[in-house]
């Protein structure tokens, strides 16, 4: 078993798996990678360009920042604009456009908005500023939800009452089902998000694989990981043998991190969520349970969230990109009207966004 990162970037192994994929491919296949981290690796290393022309990689909605509801961003801006309030979030969120502005605009006008690296940092800020309300804008898939849950849990244990959370945590399996049940679905197999499965395991994908007759391969993020995942997926497709396989076994176990899952169940419950640029997906989001409502920003600030779609700029096709219907470089605004400095849509901002990946590695191709 390989142990070091450079082994997963070994050019000889890359050639070996590229040839192995070519050897077994007899038909046209379309595979979606779910995670934005995988998308960036694919584009950065040119993995899609190494594959046989019969294989198309479709970039999925695997960037939680990109699919954060515009309404929630507007509410975060509203909260940050209030006096005696400190809004905390991860750096990616500051440039994501709301309906009219982004958080960076509000920060430039004097709002106290702070980039944090762990939700637990918010508790320290709350203790240091007892006269102010500290709000964490929590964004992410199942990967980051446990850290938000432990922060809320500790806030209750420590009786830190000037802290609350605006929740934008979302779940991957319902999104996969929404894609597969669409009459526009082109996906024939999935590379599942390795980091999500580290927390949640992959037993929940078995029903999806069986019901929709698609191979689902839990896959890592390095070039050899991704090529191994594609090989396993094509192997199943060619044999019409549909199941879940775990390429990322050095990190992911079938049942995942059960302590993290128990913590999530303690603090959160499942709810519907409107994915930016896509649709309302039933049972695809998390909300804070009644027991911890003291720490709900929605409750504390009397926010009225109607969970509906707010239209993007007419020059932005990020919704089609997030659904895998278009590639970033097929957007008329790509690299001209839309850049990381002046983004029209969220996928150009986030470090996991497909448009940002193409801008960084494929702008002139």
> Do the beta carbons of residue 349 and residue 330 sit within 8 Å?
no
CA–CA dist 113, 81 (Å, integer): 9
The domains of the chain, with CATH numbers, are: 5-52+173-246 (3.40.50.11750), 70-171+256-300 (3.40.50.11740)
Profile the chain (365 residues) by mean pLDDT over runs of 10 residues. Answer: 82 97 98 95 96 96 91 94 97 90 95 96 98 97 97 98 97 95 92 96 96 98 97 98 96 96 98 91 97 96 72 84 91 94 91 94 82
pLDDT at 312: 75
CA distance 150 to 58: 35
Packed helices 172-181 and 205-212: angle between N→C axes, nearest 10 degrees: 10
Q: Which DSSP helix (H) or strand (E) runs through 195? A: helix 194-200
Query: Do 38 and 58 meet the contact criterion of CB atoms below 8 Å apart?
Result: no
Please state, in angstroms and rounded to a whole number, the distance separating the CA atoms of residues 216 and 223: 18
- Which residues are bridge partners to 168 per DSSP? 139
Q: How many CB atoms lie within 10 A of CB 293?
A: 13
- Residue 127 to residues 34, 82, 86, 151, Cα–Cα distance (Å): 38, 19, 12, 13
The β-bridge relationship of strands 29-33 and 55-59 is: parallel
pLDDT at position 235 is 98
């Amino acid at each position: 078993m390989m142990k070091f990162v450079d082994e997963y970037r070994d050019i000889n192994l890359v050639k070996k798996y590229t040839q192995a994929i070519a050897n077994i491919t007899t038909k046209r296949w379309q595979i979606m990678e779910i995670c934005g981290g995988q998308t960036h690796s694919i584009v950065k290393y040119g993995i899609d360009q190494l594959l046989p022309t019969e294989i198309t990689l479709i970039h999925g909605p695997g960037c939680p920042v990109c699919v954060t509801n515009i309404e929630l961003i507007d509410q975060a801006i509203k909260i940050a604009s209030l006096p005696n309030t400190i809004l905390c979030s991860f750096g990616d969120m500051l440039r994501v456009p709301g309906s009219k502005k982004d958080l960076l605009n509000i920060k430039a006008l004097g709002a106290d908005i702070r980039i944090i690296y762990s939700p637990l940092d918010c508790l320290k800020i709350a203790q240091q500023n007892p006269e102010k309300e500290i709000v964490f804008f929590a964004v992410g898939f199942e990967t980051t939800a446990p850290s938000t849950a432990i922060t809320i849990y500790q806030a209750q244990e420590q009786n830190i009452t000037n802290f609350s959370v605006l929740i934008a945590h979302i779940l991957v399996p319902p999104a996969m089902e929404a894609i597969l049940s669409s009459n526009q679905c082109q996906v024939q197999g999935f590379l599942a998000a390795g980091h999500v499965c580290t927390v949640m395991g992959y037993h929940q994908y078995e029903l999806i694989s069986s019901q929709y007759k698609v191979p689902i391969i839990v896959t890592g993020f390095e070039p050899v990981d991704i090529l191994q995942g594609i090989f396993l997926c094509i192997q199943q497709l060619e044999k019409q043998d549909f199941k879940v396989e775990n390429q990322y076994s050095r990190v992911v176990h079938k049942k995942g991190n059960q302590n993290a899952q128990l913590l999530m169940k303690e603090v959160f419950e499942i709810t519907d969520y409107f994915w930016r640029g896509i649709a309302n997906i039933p049972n695809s989001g998390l909300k804070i349970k009644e027991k911890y409502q003291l720490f709900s920003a929605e409750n504390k600030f009397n926010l009225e969230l109607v969970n509906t779609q707010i239209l993007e700029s007419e020059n932005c096709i990020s919704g089609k990109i997030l659904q895998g219907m278009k590639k970033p470089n097929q957007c008329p605004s790509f690299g001209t009207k839309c850049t990381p400095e002046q983004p029209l849509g969220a996928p150009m901002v986030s470090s996991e966004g497909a448009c940002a990946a193409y801008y960084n590695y494929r702008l002139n191709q």
